Chain A
Amino acid sequence: MTGKTFAEKQLSGKSGRDVHAGDYVEAEIDVAMAHDITGPLAFQTFDEVTGSDGALFAPDRTVFTIDHHAPADGVQAANNHNALREFAAEHGAHQYDVGDGICHQVLVEEGHVGPGDLVVGADSHSTTYGGLGAFGTGVGSTDLGTAMATGDLWFRVPETRRFEVEGDLPEAVYAKDLVLKFIGDVGFAGCTYMAAEYAGSTVAALPLHERFVLANMAIEMGGKAGIVEPDERTARYLEAQTGRAPSTDVDDPALHADPDAEYVDVHTYRAEEIAPQVSTPSNPENAVDVGKVEGTEIDQLFVGTCTNGRFEDMQVVADVLEGEEIAPNVRMVVVPASGAVYQQMLETGVLTTFVDAGAVVQSAGCGPCAGYHQGVLGDSDVCLATANRNFPGREGSMKSSVYLASPATVGASALYGEITDPRRVDTSRYDDVALAKGARS
C-alpha cells in the first residue's frame, strides 16, 4: 500500500477509517462557519433537521461573521445580520459583528482553527485554513446547516496535486504571484475535486500571512482544499495570535504527507524564475507576467479581501505610497480584512499614509470584492485588485474589467495610474517590506 497524502490522512483520522482518494466518508467536523450571506439559509436547514429545540454539535466551535454586507447596505442585509445575532445568542455560538472583519481572517486571527482541524465554512474561500495545516473546505448552506446539527458531513476523499517551489523569491514577488502562476498553469478547473499541496523550500520559508494566500486561492483552480503542512512557523504564529501553543504537535506525522504518497502529478518551480503576475479579465487562470500588461490604464485600485487584506499587505502598499500621491486618474479603495488589521494600520501610521496619498479607507469586511457595495464598478471601469476573482461582473457591471495582482503590483500601479511592474519602483521602498516578511513569521 502506498503512503498517504495530507488529505487522505486528515479524512482517515476524522472518519476513523483507513481511506484513500476516491473513497466516500462521513467525517467529524472540528469547526463550522457561516456568514451573513450563507448563514440565514443554513439556519433554516438546521431548524428543519433538528426540530424546534435543536442544539449545535459544539457551540464553542461554531462561528458566525458579518462581513459581506458590513455595515448593512440595505434593509434585507440588516435583517440577515439580525438573524445571525439572534441565532448565535440563542444557541451560544461565536458571533463576530460589523467591523470585526472577514470570516477567514477572523477565524485564523482569533485562534478558532489549528493544525489538523477539519473546518467547513459556508464560503468557498474556506480553503484558507489550509495555510495553518488544517483541512478547510467550502460548502453550501444545506451542508453547513446539517453539519451544525450533527458535527459530521460526507466527503469524497480527494486526489491531490502537488506544487513544489524551491529557492528564494525575487524582490517584489510574493505568494500571490506564485499562486496566480499555479492557476495559470493548471487552469481554472485544474484541481476540481482535488486538494492542492504546496511544498518546497520556498513555501517553507513563507510567513503565515503568505501561506494563507496560497491556500485561499486553491478554490480558484477548483480545489477542495489547499494545504501548507504545519511547522515551527505555524506554531509561532498561533502562539503570537492566541498566547498559547497549538493543541496539536506540528511535527505529528498525521499532519504530514508520506514521502511515498500518490499524487495526480507534481508541478515543480524555481522561485527565481517567477515574475510578478497579473490575471487579466475575466478569469484567474489568465495569469501573465506583469510585463505583458504594463501600461494598461486603470480606473480603480482595490486593496483588501480574504486573499490580500492583511496588515502585511497594507504595509507593502503603504511603503510604496509613503510620501507620494496616487495618480490623479485613479481612485484607490482600501478595505482591511479585519478590525485588528485596521487597528494595526492606525497604530503604525499606515492608515495616515493611505489617506495622505489620496486613498479611501473603509471599515473592515469584504468590501467591493463580490460587487455588493463600497466601490462597485461601472460599465467602462477597469480595476486592479488584490482580490481572488475577476469573473465577468464580479465587482459590478458585466462590462467592467478586473485584473488581479499582488499588493506590490497594485501599489506600484497606483503611483503611475496604469499597470506597473513593481520592480520598476525604487527598490529602497521595499526595505520595510522585507522586514515585514520576516518580523511576523
Chain B
Amino acid sequence: MSTGDDPDPATPARAWVFGDDIDTDQIIPSRFIVSSDPEEIAQHTFEDLRPEFSESVRAGEFVVGGENFGSGSSREQAPLSLLGAGVAGVVAQSFARIFFRNAINLGLPVLISPEAGRIRDGDEIHMELDTGTIVNHTRDERYEAEPLPEFLQSIVERGGLKPYTKAKLNEQ
C-alpha cells in the first residue's frame, strides 16, 4: 500500500507484469467501485486476478501491461486505485482509449512501448518521462516509448486536467 509519499517514476522499482486485454473489471472489480476513495479501492486492486497485489505492492512500483491495457469500462476508479496503491506509472504495449485518457487526466504516468513485452515480472525498471524511455535495470535494457503528443504534454505539465481546466477558467 501507498506510504503517502509521491512515487517518483524516475526511481527504479519492481515491475508487476500483466498480460494482454487487462480490462477495468480486472483492475478494480465492479463490486468495489461504489467507492471512489483511492485508499479504500486500492485495497482491492487486481483482487480477483492477483490477490497478493494490494498486500504486497510498495509505493513507487510499476504496473506493466501487454496490449490493450485498461479496456472496457470508463470507471476512473481503475487508474485511481493504482494511484491509491502508490503505483508510480504504467507501461504497456498499448492502452484502451478511455483508460489512457483517465490516467493522463489524473496525472498517473503512462508510457506506450512495443517493447514492454520484454519486461518480466519482478524486473527493476524506471520511467524517464521527458525522453519517453523505460530503463530495465535487471536486464540492462532501454526501451523507446511513443512520445506524448504536444497537447497532452501541456496537460501533464500543468499537473493533469483539473489544474489545466482551472487555469483555463481563470483566463476567461
* Given A142-B105, A222-B68, A389-B72; A371-B30 close (CB under 8 Å): yes
Task: Give the contact stretch, choosing among A133-141, A311-319, A404-412.
Answer: A133-141
> What count of chain B residues pass the 8 Å CB interface test?
44
Which residue, B34, B75, B151, B152, has most C-beta atoms of chain A within 10 A? B34
Q: Is the CB of B94 within 8 A of A143?
A: no
Q: Does A398 contact B (CB under 8 A)?
A: yes
With both beta carbons as reference points, the residue of chain B lying nearest to A194 in the complex is identified as B97
Q: Does A10 contact B (CB under 8 A)?
A: no
Q: How far is the CA of A171 from the CA of B25 in the complex (A)?
A: 35
Q: Is the CB of B98 within 8 A of A138?
A: yes
Interface residues of B in 34-70 (CB under 8 A from A): 34-36, 48-49, 67-68
Task: Give the contact stretch, choosing among B118-126, B135-143, B163-171.
Answer: B163-171
Q: Is the CB of A146 within 8 A of B161?
A: yes
With both beta carbons as reference points, the residue of chain A lying nearest to B33 in the complex is identified as A37
Contacts of A124 in B (CB 8 A): 72-74, 98
Q: How far, in Å, is A269 (CB) from chain B's closest CB? A: 24
Q: How far is the CA of A140 from the CA of B104 in the complex (A)?
A: 11
Q: How far is the CA of A122 from the CA of B155 in the complex (A)?
A: 20
Proximity bits, B102-134, A CB within 8 Å = 1, else 0: 100110000000000000000000000000000
Q: How far, in Å, is A1 (CB) from chain B's closest CB? A: 22
A150's partner among B34, B73, B79, B165 (CB-CB below 8 A) is B165
Q: Does B96 contact A (CB under 8 A)?
A: yes
Contacts of A49 in B (CB 8 A): 162, 165-166, 169
Q: Does A308 contact B (CB under 8 A)?
A: no
Proximity bits, A385-399, B CB within 8 Å = 1, else 0: 000010111100010
Q: How far is the CA of A41 from the CA of B152 in the complex (A)?
A: 22
Q: Is the CB of A391 within 8 A of B23?
A: yes
B97's partner among A48, A122, A222 (CB-CB below 8 A) is A222
Proximity bits, A56-75, B CB within 8 Å = 1, else 0: 00000000000001000010
Q: Does B76 contact A (CB under 8 A)?
A: yes
Q: Does A123 contact B (CB under 8 A)?
A: yes
Q: How far is the CA of A45 from the CA of B165 in the complex (A)?
A: 10
Which residue, A24, A38, A124, has most C-beta atoms of chain B within 10 A? A124
Q: Does B29 contact A (CB under 8 A)?
A: yes
B26's partner among A45, A69, A224, A391 (CB-CB below 8 A) is A391
Q: Does A370 contact B (CB under 8 A)?
A: yes
Contacts of A44 in B (CB 8 A): 36
Q: How far is the CA of A394 from the CA of B71 in the complex (A)?
A: 13
Q: Does A342 contact B (CB under 8 A)?
A: no
Q: Is the CB of A45 within 8 A of B162?
A: yes
With both beta carbons as reference points, the residue of chain B lying nearest to A370 in the complex is identified as B30
Q: How far, in Å, is B96 (CB) from chain A's closest CB? A: 6
Q: How far is the CA of A189 from the CA of B94 in the complex (A)?
A: 9
Q: Is the CB of B96 within 8 A of A222?
A: yes
Q: Is the CB of B75 within 8 A of A149?
A: no
Contacts of A143 in B (CB 8 A): 101-102, 105, 161
* Given A140-B76, A142-B105, A146-B161; A74-B71 close (CB under 8 Å): no
Q: Does A163 contact B (CB under 8 A)?
A: no
Q: How far is the CA of A393 from the CA of B74 in the complex (A)?
A: 17
Q: Is the CB of A139 within 8 A of B101?
A: yes
Q: Is the CB of B29 within 8 A of A393?
A: yes
Q: How far, in Å, is A115 (CB) from chain B's closest CB? A: 23
Contacts of B80 in A (CB 8 A): 41
Q: Is the CB of B25 within 8 A of A393?
A: yes
Q: How far is the CA of A223 from the CA of B30 in the complex (A)?
A: 22
With both beta carbons as reference points, the residue of chain A lying nearest to B76 in the complex is identified as A140
* Extra pairs beyond A41-B36, A41-B80 (7, CB < 8 Å): A41-B76, A49-B169, A124-B72, A154-B155, A156-B149, A188-B68, A188-B71
8 interchain pairs, CB-CB under 8 A: A38-B76, A44-B36, A123-B73, A124-B74, A146-B162, A189-B71, A192-B68, A370-B73
Identify the 9 closest CB pairs spanning chains A and B, nearest first.
Answer: A140-B102, A24-B151, A140-B76, A189-B68, A146-B165, A41-B36, A142-B105, A124-B74, A138-B74
Residues of B within 8 A of A (CB): 21, 23, 25-26, 29-31, 33-36, 48-49, 67-68, 71-77, 79-80, 94, 96-98, 101-102, 105-106, 149-152, 155, 160-162, 165-166, 168-169
